[in-house]
Structure formats: structure tokens, C-alpha cells
Amino acid sequence: MENINLNLLAKDGQRLLEELGKGNMVIARSKNDFLYILEFDDKFHMFSHTPGSPGGGQKQFPKDEKYTAVVRKIADLADSLYLAEFDKDLNLYGVMVSAEEGILSMFPGNDRESDSDIEFILPKKDKQDNESEK
């Protein structure tokens, strides 16, 4: 896999932990703040970023009972969760930037109610339909 697969993820703390255990990235979004969560080296790694800001933050926590409960609770606290599956040879920061751009293009956040409604409009090919538009 040379690209990043991005999907919506149910707000389920157990599922969030399962995906992290598979080596995937879980992205929590609250309004316009993003939290990227990974699990490796027996630690939870979290990177935070607000789109448009020049920097972000990073924290690491041991994968113990206390922090496992904290990470599970993120599912309840976030507005939405996303799953990013990616080739582990890719640059991690590049994966985060690509995932954020993908999320913002699909769910811009200007109208939280309509973010979940994606509408596909097919162009009209019928000659009669084209004339009715004139």
C-alpha cells in the first residue's frame, strides 16, 4: 500500500483501541482541532494540530491501564473519529498532513449539520434537459 486509506470510524472506544493495536492511526476531531493517535513502542503517541496554525503539539503516554482508559474516552469526547491506514514506510508527518487535507476536503466543518451529508449530482445528458436549463 503506497497511499493512505481514510475512513470514518464509529465513536467506539474499544474499536479505537483495536485499530491502534493494528498499527493504524486514529484521528479525533473536535470542531477544528485534530488529534492524531498512534500506538507503537508500547506507548500512545498523540499529535495535535489546528489547521492553519504553523505548529502543533506532541505527547507520549505509557500504554498502561490509566492511559488506555483515557484513549478509550477520546471516542466519546470527540466530535468525530477517522481511521487512517497507511504504509508504515511513509513519513508520519506527511501521513498526518494528507489525512487532515482529506478530512477537511470531505468535511470542511463550516456547517456541522451538513458535514455528514454528501450529495452527488449527476450532469444531465438528455438534450431536452439541456434546453430546459436555458
Among candidates 128, 38, 122, 51, which has minimal Cα distance to 88?
38
pLDDT tens digits for 23-69?
999 999 998 899 999 999 999 999 999 998 888 899 999 999 999 99
Vertex 52 angle, CA 103 and 90, to 5° = 55
Which residue is listed with cell 504504509? 87
Taking the C-alpha atoms of residue 27 and residue 9, their distance in angstroms, rounded to an integer, is 9
pTM for this entry: 0.78
Tell me the pLDDT tens digit for each residue of 77-127.
999 999 999 998 899 999 999 999 999 988 776 554 544 444 444 455 555
